[in-house]
Amino acid sequence: MTIQVRTILCPLDFSDQAPTVLEWVIHLAEEHGSRVVLLHAYHLPVEFQQMEGAYLPPDFWSNVKAEAEQNLARYADQVRAAGLSCEVVVREGYPATVIEDAAEELSADLVVIGTRGHTGLKHLLLGSIAERVVQKTPCPVLTVKPRSDA
């Protein structure tokens, strides 16, 4: 059996772990001749939206999107510097759902996503986007744990 990894979807949250996740993506894409799609999903938590008197300036969402596109462009430059094809996608929405939908739309063969390594109460309270992606995404998912020296 030959496994073909034509498209790798890599959701990034711009955390300290993003460079490690990107290393894995570049390595795997070089190994398989894959195209890379970098994705960032942004959303405003429901709790904030329901706060009385919460104010967002009119250009808030356009600024958030523009900043995310700039950040992803820097990561895309690293992928392209390795001689790989790379696209950048920025979408508004709950990250796990956005990732699942993008994987399906792009016919991704693999999702490479970082985990934060939360356990216990912190995991229960914060949840895990990576865990939901593993459960719901229609393709294999490689989770990259934080480096122990980080």
SS3 labels along 76-116: HHHHHHCCCCEEEEEEECCHHHHHHHHHHHCCCCEEEEECC
Tokens of 127: 């949840």
Write down the pLDDT at residue 124: 46
Tokens of 99: 């990732």
Per-residue pLDDT of the chain (150 residues; tens, 9 = 90+): 788 999 999 999 998 889 999 999 999 999 999 999 999 999 876 555 555 656 667 787 788 899 999 999 999 999 999 999 999 999 999 999 999 999 999 999 999 999 875 555 544 444 588 889 999 999 999 999 887 754
Write down the pLDDT at residue 126: 44
CA proximity to 25, closest of 65, 67, 74, 76: 76
Q: What's the CA gap between 52 and 49, in Å, rounded?
A: 8
Write down the pLDDT at residue 40: 96
- The domains located in the chain, with CATH, are 7-47+55-144 (3.40.50.620)
